A and B are shown apart, each in its own frame.
Chain A
Amino acid sequence: MKDHIVCLAIESSCDETSAAVVVDGRRVLSNIISTQIDIHKAYGGVVPEIASRHHLNNINPVIDEALDSAGIGFKDLDFICVTNRPGLIGALLIGTASAKALAYALNIPLIGVHHIRGHICANYIAHPELEPPFTALVVSGGHSTLADVRGYTDYEIVGQTRDDAAGEAFDKVARVLGLGYPGGPLLDKLAREGNPEAIPFKRVYLEKDSYDFSFSGTKTGVLNYLNSKRQKNEAVNSADVAASFQAAVVEVLVTKAVRLAKDRGRDKLVLAGGVAANSCLRESLAKACEKAGIKLFAPPPVLCTDNGAMIGCAGYYEYMAGAKDEKMNLDAFANAPLE
């Protein structure tokens, strides 16, 4: 038996092409991320066909760079893992086709990884002491999910968004405020200059006891507010709008996440996903967790964005749990449950 398990992990589910070399699940030797943000900026959002074309051009050099900067070669790999679900299907299939061909050529196992599991696992890399069970709040441009994480490969989805993902609502509000792309971080920045209590946007909690989310009503509230101001020819304080909207979304996320942790008797809460970098969300969650006696974990910004290292970590635990080798038949899926 070898002392260490070395994997190459590949991620191409949206607009980041990434490859990483990860040892024993948590030790990251390299994590190369090639982002297409500047390319998609011109279109105000990710264009799937363009993203797919760029992934194909970028993926092999990104893999080479990941191996080079880790100081290893293909022969040192024990297995390969790749994000094969969920995401933009055309984007996913570049990583998946490449990973299948590599695993086939090298005759080593291939593990398909769920993108959101990867985001949660980013916390294992950032926090060596972190172990399940815990409550996880995953917030990104495509997802708003509350999960009870019972083990490294044992997840239960307890709540999800019924309409817009939180990050999606952030991006849309940023667009109507004319903030540019990607909207989330720009909205966060502007919100810091505004008064979060200036405008009482609706907080949507849905049914009592529900852990699901709904952000489209809050988003529509912002649009209606801006329209009525425009009709009355009144000036809009964009910073106040950004701060108040963000406060409304964050309040619901934080309240439900902390309630779930208490409900399940978890003393740890893990934040993950692209929106985990949002400062308002981090601060509010930290305050609420402290008050409830829950320890909060969140990854550093580089591990919040889509990256190969988090996929390598998730893939490692799947591999150790005996996930079967899928190099012959792995497929990609635009939608897939976390469980």
Chain B
Amino acid sequence: MNILAIETTGPVASAAVIDEDGCVCEAVGEGRLTHLEKLVPIIDKALADCGKKLSDIEGIAVSRGPGSFTGIRIGVATAKALGQALGLRIAEVPSLYAAALGANKFEGIICVVLDARRSQVYAAAYSCAFGELEEILPEGAYDVPQVTEAVKEKGPVYFIGDGVFVREIREELEREVGEQAFFGHEELRVQRADSVAIIGSEIFEAGGAVSYAEARPEYLRVSEAERKAGLKSS
């Protein structure tokens, strides 16, 4: 099936189309943090590049977080409204899993680390062999030692995501994981829609897509005000 995928949880917005043959066309936005303004043109370009019209699309995949709260909402709001207007179902794709899939040429452990501030990270880890990922640390908001504990002494660990570029986080990862720690280069710093499209099509095949009304973001955190008030997330 033809699926339109949207990724806006990181600093660069992107959209991709995956067709019946698993062929992926991706369009990546220029400039950072202009997601609201640029997302529709990016979607339009991804469709044009793969020679499809919006009416050819049979499902929507959206990177539903974690990541930038604002970015998550722009992507999820766009996906839900497209689903609503076009009568399409939505695959809610975990952003960290999508990021890991983008690095699956690495053999060993892939650990995605996003800077969550307040000395925490949004992280998940997968063991990777022959391109297949198996979860070993579920996505969550963690203190860095919780992450290193889960991945160290299990062979080489490949750290990717914007957290790798935060000095304090990187130093702690290096110190704890030692010589087995490897760090992704700049282009793996951001989440991308091509992986969202691939995971989205797997979710559709497995029957896991939801209606536009059911599709939800995953922030992995309550708001600051709720945290301070000690109230439960709604």
Residue in contact with A59 in the complex, picked from B43, B77, B219, CB distance below 8 Å:
B77
> Least Cβ distance of B219 to chain A in Å?
8
Choose among B80, B82, B234 the residue with the greatest number of A CB atoms under 10 Å from its CB.
B80
B206 part of interface (Cβ distance < 8 Å): no
Q: Determine the chain B residues whose CB is within 8 A of the CB of A100 once the complex forms.
A: 36, 39-40, 78, 81
A327 part of interface (Cβ distance < 8 Å): yes
Determine whether the beta carbon of A331 is less than 8 Å from that of B85: no
Q: Determine the chain A residues whose CB is within 8 A of the CB of B216 once the complex forms.
A: 57
Determine whether the beta carbon of B217 is less than 8 Å from that of A97: no
CB-nearest residue of chain B relative to A105?
Answer: B85
A197 to B66, CA, bound (A): 56
Interface size class of A (residues with CB under 8 A): 35 or more
Residue in contact with B37 in the complex, picked from A60, A63, A329, CB distance below 8 Å:
A329
B226 part of interface (Cβ distance < 8 Å): yes
**Given that A97-B77, A105-B86 are known contacts, is A330 also in contact with B225, CB under 8 Å in the complex?**
no
> Least Cβ distance of A102 to chain B in Å?
5
A47 part of interface (Cβ distance < 8 Å): yes
Residue in contact with B229 in the complex, picked from A43, A57, A104, CB distance below 8 Å:
A43
Determine whether the beta carbon of A56 is less than 8 Å from that of B40: no
Q: Determine the chain B residues whose CB is within 8 A of the CB of A59 once the complex forms.
A: 77, 80-81
Determine whether the beta carbon of B234 is less than 8 Å from that of A74: no
Determine whether the beta carbon of A101 is less than 8 Å from that of B36: no
B189 part of interface (Cβ distance < 8 Å): no
**Given that A42-B231, A64-B84, A105-B82 are known contacts, is A331 also in contact with B217, CB under 8 Å in the complex?**
no
B44 part of interface (Cβ distance < 8 Å): yes
Q: Determine the chain B residues whose CB is within 8 A of the CB of A328 once the complex forms.
A: 40-41, 44
B97 part of interface (Cβ distance < 8 Å): no
Determine whether the beta carbon of A101 is less than 8 Å from that of B73: no
Q: Determine the chain A residues whose CB is within 8 A of the CB of B77 once the complex forms.
A: 56, 59, 93-94, 97-98, 101
A74 to B226, CA, bound (A): 37
**Given that A50-B226, A53-B223 are known contacts, is A74 also in contact with B39, CB under 8 Å in the complex?**
no
> Least Cβ distance of B158 to chain A in Å?
33
B70 part of interface (Cβ distance < 8 Å): yes
Q: Determine the chain B residues whose CB is within 8 A of the CB of A102 once the complex forms.
A: 81-82, 84-85
A59 to B219, CA, bound (A): 18
B54 part of interface (Cβ distance < 8 Å): yes
Residue in contact with A60 in the complex, picked from B74, B80, B217, B226, CB distance below 8 Å:
B80
A59 to B73, CA, bound (A): 12
Q: Determine the chain B residues whose CB is within 8 A of the CB of A70 once the complex forms.
A: none
Interface string of B19-30 (1 = CB under 8 A from A): 000000000000
Choose among B38, B76, B81, B226 the residue with the greatest number of A CB atoms under 10 Å from its CB.
B81
Residues 126-181 of B contacting A (Cβ, < 8 Å): none
A328 to B48, CA, bound (A): 14
> Least Cβ distance of B107 to chain A in Å?
39
> Least Cβ distance of A86 to chain B in Å?
15
B187 part of interface (Cβ distance < 8 Å): no
> Least Cβ distance of B210 to chain A in Å?
12
A42 to B228, CA, bound (A): 12
**Given that A43-B229, A49-B224, A328-B44 are known contacts, is A56 also in contact with B73, CB under 8 Å in the complex?**
yes
A96 part of interface (Cβ distance < 8 Å): yes
> Least Cβ distance of B116 to chain A in Å?
14
Q: Determine the chain B residues whose CB is within 8 A of the CB of A105 once the complex forms.
A: 54, 81-82, 85-86
B213 part of interface (Cβ distance < 8 Å): yes
Q: Determine the chain B residues whose CB is within 8 A of the CB of A56 once the complex forms.
A: 73, 76-77, 80, 217
> Least Cβ distance of B179 to chain A in Å?
41
Determine whether the beta carbon of A101 is less than 8 Å from that of B82: yes
B204 part of interface (Cβ distance < 8 Å): no
B69 part of interface (Cβ distance < 8 Å): yes
Q: Determine the chain A residues whose CB is within 8 A of the CB of B219 once the complex forms.
A: 53
Residues 198-234 of B contacting A (Cβ, < 8 Å): 212-213, 216-217, 219, 223-226, 229, 231, 234
Determine whether the beta carbon of B81 is less than 8 Å from that of A332: no
> Least Cβ distance of A336 to chain B in Å?
15
Name 29 interchain pairs, CB-CB below 8 A, sorted by A: A42-B229, A42-B231, A43-B225, A50-B225, A52-B73, A53-B73, A53-B219, A56-B73, A56-B76, A56-B77, A56-B80, A59-B81, A74-B85, A93-B74, A93-B77, A94-B77, A97-B36, A97-B39, A98-B77, A100-B78, A101-B78, A101-B79, A102-B84, A104-B40, A104-B82, A105-B81, A105-B85, A328-B41, A330-B37
Q: Please give 11 more A-B residue pairs, beta carbons under 8 A apart, in addition to A93-B36, A104-B43, A329-B37.
A: A49-B69, A50-B223, A52-B69, A63-B84, A64-B84, A97-B78, A100-B39, A100-B40, A101-B79, A101-B82, A327-B40
In the A-B complex, the 5 residue pairs with the smallest Cβ-Cβ separation, listed nearest first, are A101-B81, A105-B85, A49-B223, A97-B77, A98-B81
